């Protein structure tokens, strides 16, 4: 059952990343914002974005894969 080791971390990554970006959208958390755009006082602008939800998604995916593999090893 090799497909489980691919799909479970992928789904966990997508759900974690989506939930964190949704929390930013609902509660305006700058740490999780996808895109920031601000005008400065001298007529310029600054922009930026956060990759933190993507990083947290990867970490959650790796943890889910580790748990899945360890549980699979216990059952066999």
Q: Is residue 41 scored above 90 in pLDDT?
A: no
Q: Is residue 48 scored above 60 in pLDDT?
A: yes
Which residue is listed with tokens 């600054």?
46
Distance, in Å, from the CA atom of 41 to the CA atom of 70, rounded to the nearest integer, reads 55
According to the model, what pLDDT value does residue 68 have?
A: 92
- In this prediction the pTM is 0.79
Q: Is residue 37 scored above 90 in pLDDT?
A: no
Beta strands in 1-76 (DSSP E): 36-39, 45-48
Domain hosting residue 34, numbered range? 4-39+46-75
**Number of folded domains that form the chain:** 1
Instruction: Kindly state the tokens that stand for 27.
Output: 């509660």
């Amino acid at each position: 059952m090799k497909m489980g080791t691919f799909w479970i971390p992928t789904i966990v990554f997508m759900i974690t990343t989506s939930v964190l970006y949704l929390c930013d959208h609902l509660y305006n958390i700058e740490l999780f914002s996808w895109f920031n755009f601000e005008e400065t006082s001298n007529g310029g602008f600054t922009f930026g974005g956060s990759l933190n939800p993507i990083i947290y998604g990867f970490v959650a995916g790796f943890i889910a894969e580790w748990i899945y593999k360890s549980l699979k090893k216990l059952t066999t």
